[in-house]
């Protein structure tokens, strides 16, 4: 990465922020904190873990209990940059931005976070991903939220884009002036609907009594690993810490495959077998999220398939569901 | 930006033991201005909790017309938090936020006979409808109430039954009553079968999951229209605003799109009822 502009950008970013980026670790590509630019992996491949921890920690304190008073916790939000987020992960990030739009904790953290997208071979990069869950538009950047986007072009030059005022300020600060402003026009095009997304929405919604779910339920272990690595799985539990030293209310990642997910006090448990759980997971991705946010709830990153101990491949499942008459 | 998880203090101003495991609490917000501006609909719920004990959703069971003065929650002791809540006394405070959910769209009930069917502790969210009918605030020409319960000890709102009885056709059926019980025995479905129900009626049903299937089957036989059948669902909830996912059914959230649903809209969703 000898590009001069990129070098100044990286130098600036490492001076000003805690940097999270994909880096090779034991042969695996992992998103984590990196100490210097040389560690960053620029292959554009899918990291094994999602970026969501940067925006939604697996556990965070919402309130501290002061006697019987719940006081909003004054969390400290360090200045962080998420550097090198690929287009599919940006799509997942765009969803999180919508889901947590009125969440004060998410928003405070977000204010101190800069999101830098990256593509290693623009503009064909995203076409290489095996996208099965939605259609990609040609003006892909217009449908994604980010602060800065860096694209490596065919001629090995880099193009810079800004997607927000913060992004602009940052680029100016690092003396990069030939960037293009991208205006976000919504996560899906206004003029044409994402037909693929809508077709899948209908298919999944109507497939509850189809054999496919029985077959999946026979092999799925309900281990929940797919949900942990999924960049769009954002569900959570609230929990009160009984810790006498530091009592309070926390929020932590939930998992719809876990047994207590739907259990109400008194014992009633609507999701009480594997078939219901796995179907619930697909309905969230392919029915609820498109209905609420008009965007796909699965970005086709393939992480869940890689991590599944019994080899359930979401791309194949979706293919089979599309074939159901 | 407002913190949607921030709770407010509400003080218990009176308590009535309703049954072996259920207490009726009347709350007033400690902040008087909050109480003056408080408004809710029949069928909506509050998140109530205590620092270190967590939160849970409880249907409001007072009439919306009392909202500026107080709100009432009937809390059944089913776990550590509700056990703790039920041990509180007059003057104690709890943390609440809400109201949440959609409530009953009473405008759609106008001029139709109203039928209220409740099972066990599911009867709680139905009380505001009955209070408002009795006080003439919802204009229906007829009210029938069917209340199915295990025994005399588990019946809720007993003090109000004479008043309800004067204003409606009020049927209680107990599954395992004492020898002294003079009323109907057995499942509530049997009491419904026996009676005439106007096919134009709006029917509201709240009860344990097993009850819906049988009761709705009987109603359909009596030619009640699916779009006139309403239910209120119970689910696990944390956020109350359609984010945490615990209460999702098919495409909907019980906390936000419900807890009141028109049966017609959810009858094909697997696992909803
Ligand atoms: S990772 Fe595979 S086995 Fe585990 S819950 Fe997900 S689909 Fe089931
Ligand atoms: S491919 Fe799997 S992990 Fe990736 S977004 Fe879709 S459901 Fe989530």
Residue B273: predicted pLDDT: 85
Domain extent listing, chain B:
8-100, 106-232
C-alpha to C-alpha distance for A116 and A84, rounded to whole angstroms: 6
Of A86, A89, A94, A230, the one to substitute when testing ligand 2's pocket (max ligand atoms within 8 A of C-beta) is: A230
Which value, to the nearest 10 degrees, does the dihedral of the CA atoms of residues B117, B120, B123, B124 take?
Answer: -170
Say yes or no for a CB contact (<8 Å) between A265 and B239. no
Residue A137: band (very low, low, confident or very high) from pLDDT cuts 50, 70, 90: low
- DSSP 3-state assignment of A123? coil
Residues A132-140 have a mean pLDDT of: 73
Q: What is the rounded end-to-end Cα distance, in angstroms, of chain B? A: 37
Residue A160: predicted pLDDT: 95
Ligand lying nearest the CA atom of residue A286: 2
- Is pLDDT at A193 greater than 80 in this prediction? no
- Beta-carbon contacts of residue A177 (< 8 Å; ≥ 6 apart): A171
Dihedral sign (CA A197, A201, A207, A211): positive
Residue A2: band (very low, low, confident or very high) from pLDDT cuts 50, 70, 90: low
State which CATH number among 3.30.565.10, 3.10.129.10, 2.40.30.10, 3.40.50.300 fits the domain covering B8-100: 2.40.30.10
- Beta-carbon contacts of residue B194 (< 8 Å; ≥ 6 apart): none
> pLDDT of A194-232, one tens digit each?
788 889 999 999 999 999 999 999 999 999 999 999 999
- Is pLDDT at A1 greater than 60 in this prediction? no
- Is pLDDT at A135 greater than 80 in this prediction? no
List CB contacts (< 8 A) between B93 and chain A.
68
Number of residues assigned to chain B: 273
Q: Chain A residue with minimal CA distance to B81?
A: A265
Closest C-alpha residue for ligand 2 atom 6: A298
Instruction: Select the highest-mean-pLDDT range: A116-125, A191-200, B238-247.
Output: B238-247
Q: How far is CA A220 from CA A271, A272, A310, B81, in A?
A: 15, 14, 7, 34
Residues A25-50 have a mean pLDDT of: 94
Omega into B99 within 30° of 0, i.e. cis? yes
Q: For residue A3, report the distance from its CA to the centre of ligand 2, in Å.
A: 33
Closest C-alpha residue for ligand 1 atom 6: A226
Pairing between β-strand B229-232 and β-strand B71-76 as defined by DSSP bridges: unpaired
Residue B136: band (very low, low, confident or very high) from pLDDT cuts 50, 70, 90: confident
CB within 6 Å of ligand 1 — which residues?
A 220-226, 257, 307-310, 312
> pLDDT of B52-103, one tens digit each?
899 999 999 999 999 999 999 999 999 999 999 999 999 999 999 999 999 9
Residues B199-210 have a mean pLDDT of: 93
Residue A191: predicted pLDDT: 62
Contact assessment for residue A238 and residue B55, using Cβ atoms and an 8 Å cutoff: yes
Other Cβ atoms closer than 10 A to A10 = 22
State the helix-helix crossing angle for A211-219 and A314-323, rounded to 10 degrees.
Answer: 160
Residues A291-295 have a mean pLDDT of: 91
> pLDDT of A143-180, one tens digit each?
899 999 999 988 888 999 999 999 999 999 999 999 99
- Spatial strand order in the sheet of A69-72: A69-72, A59-66, A248-253, A236-241
Look-up of token digits 């600060």? A173
Other Cβ atoms closer than 10 A to A4 = 9
Give ∠ CA B110-B113-B119 in degrees, rounded to 5. 110
Give ∠ CA A223-A224-A227 in degrees, rounded to 5. 160
C-alpha to C-alpha distance for B130 and B63, rounded to whole angstroms: 9
Whole-prediction pTM? 0.93
Residues A244-249 have a mean pLDDT of: 85
State the helix-helix crossing angle for A274-283 and A211-219, rounded to 10 degrees.
Answer: 110
- Beta-carbon contacts of residue B269 (< 8 Å; ≥ 6 apart): A208, B249, B250, B251, B252
Write the class of the CATH domain B106-232: alpha beta
Say yes or no for a CB contact (<8 Å) between B79 and A265. yes
Pairing between β-strand A69-72 and β-strand A80-85 as defined by DSSP bridges: unpaired
Q: For residue A319, report the distance from its CA to the centre of ligand 2, in Å.
A: 14
Element at B47 (helix H, strand E): strand B45-50
- ipTM, two decimals: 0.90
Strand partners of residue B94: B10
> pLDDT of A261-289, one tens digit each?
999 887 788 898 999 999 999 999 999 99
List CB contacts (< 8 A) between B50 and chain A.
68
Most B CBs within 10 Å, among A60, A70, A268, A283, to test the B interface: A70
Strand partners of residue B47: B57, B97
Q: For residue A312, report the distance from its CA to the centre of ligand 1, in Å.
A: 7
Residues A234-242 have a mean pLDDT of: 91
Say yes or no for a CB contact (<8 Å) between A65 and B248. no
Contact assessment for residue B231 and residue B260, using Cβ atoms and an 8 Å cutoff: yes
Residue B143: predicted pLDDT: 94
Q: Chain A residue with minimal CA distance to B208?
A: A268
C-alpha to C-alpha distance for B232 and B214, rounded to whole angstroms: 16
Other Cβ atoms closer than 10 A to B265 = 16
- Percentage, residues of chain B above pLDDT 70: 100
> pLDDT of A78-98, one tens digit each?
999 999 999 999 999 999 999
Q: For residue A48, report the distance from its CA to the centre of ligand 2, in Å.
A: 11
Q: How far is CA A99 from CA A117, A289, B102, in A?
A: 20, 9, 20
Say yes or no for a CB contact (<8 Å) between B238 and A263. no
- Is pLDDT at B179 greater than 80 in this prediction? yes
């Amino acid at each position: 990465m000898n590009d001069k502009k990129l070098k100044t950008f990286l130098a600036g970013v490492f001076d000003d922020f805690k940097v999270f980026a994909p880096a090779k670790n034991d042969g695996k590509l992992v998103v984590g904190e990196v100490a210097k630019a040389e560690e960053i992996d620029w292959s554009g491949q899918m990291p094994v873990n999602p970026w969501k921890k940067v925006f939604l920690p697996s556990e965070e304190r919402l309130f501290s209990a002061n006697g019987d008073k719940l006081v909003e916790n004054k969390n400290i939000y360090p200045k962080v940059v998420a550097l090198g987020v690929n287009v599919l992960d940006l799509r997942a990030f765009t969803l999180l931005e919508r889901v947590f739009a009125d969440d004060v904790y998410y928003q405070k953290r977000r204010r101190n976070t800069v999101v830098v997208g990256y593509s290693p071979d623009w503009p064909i990069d995203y076409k290489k991903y095996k996208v099965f869950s939605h259609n990609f538009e040609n003006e892909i950047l217009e449908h994604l939220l980010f602060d800065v986007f860096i694209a490596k072009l065919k001629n090995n030059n880099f193009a810079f884009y800004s997607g927000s005022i913060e992004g602009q300020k940052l680029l100016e600060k690092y003396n990069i002036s030939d960037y293009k402003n991208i205006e976000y026009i919504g996560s899906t095009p206004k003029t044409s609907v994402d037909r693929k997304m809508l077709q899948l929405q209908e298919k999944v919604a109507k497939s509850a009594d189809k054999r496919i779910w029985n077959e999946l339920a026979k092999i799925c272990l309900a281990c929940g690993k797919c949900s942990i690595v999924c960049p769009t799985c954002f569900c959570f539990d609230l929990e009160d810490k009984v810790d006498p030293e530091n009592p309070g209310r926390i929020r932590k990642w939930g998992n719809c495959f876990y047994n207590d997910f739907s259990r109400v006090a008194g014992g009633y448990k609507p999701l009480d077998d594997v078939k219901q759980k796995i179907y619930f997971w697909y309905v969230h991705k392919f029915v609820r999220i498109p209905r609420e946010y008009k965007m796909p709830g699965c970005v086709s990153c393939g992480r869940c398939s890689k991590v599944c101990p019994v080899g359930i491949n979401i791309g194949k499942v979706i293919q089979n569901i599309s074939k159901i008459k | 930006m407002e913190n949607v998880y921030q709770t407010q203090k509400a003080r218990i101003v009176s308590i009535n033991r309703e049954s072996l495991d259920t207490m009726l609490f009347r709350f007033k917000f400690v902040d008087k201005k909050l109480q003056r501006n408080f408004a809710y609909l029949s069928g909506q719920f509050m998140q109530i909790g205590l620092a270190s004990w967590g939160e849970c959703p409880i249907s409001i069971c007072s009439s919306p017309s009392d909202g500026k003065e107080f709100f009432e929650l009937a809390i059944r002791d089913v776990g550590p938090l509700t056990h703790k809540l039920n041990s509180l006394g007059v003057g104690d405070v709890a943390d609440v936020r809400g109201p949440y959910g959609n409530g009953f769209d009473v405008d759609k009930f106008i001029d139709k006979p109203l039928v209220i069917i409740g099972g066990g502790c599911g009867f709680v969210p139905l009380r505001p409808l009955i209070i408002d009918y009795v006080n003439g605030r919802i204009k229906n020409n007829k009210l029938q109430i069917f209340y199915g319960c295990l025994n005399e000890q588990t019946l809720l709102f007993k003090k109000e039954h004479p008043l309800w009885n004067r204003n409606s056709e009020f049927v209680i059926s107990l599954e395992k009553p004492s020898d002294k019980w003079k009323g109907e025995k057995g499942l509530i479905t049997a009491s419904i079968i026996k009676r005439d129900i106007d096919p134009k009626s709006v029917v509201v049903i709240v009860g344990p999951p097993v009850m819906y299937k049988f009761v709705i089957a009987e109603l359909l036989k009596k030619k009640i229209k699916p779009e006139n059948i309403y239910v209120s669902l119970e689910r696990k909830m944390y956020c109350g605003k359609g984010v945490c996912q615990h209460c999702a059914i098919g495409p909907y959230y019980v906390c936000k799109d419900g807890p009141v649903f028109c049966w017609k809209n959810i009858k094909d969703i697997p696992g909803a009822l």
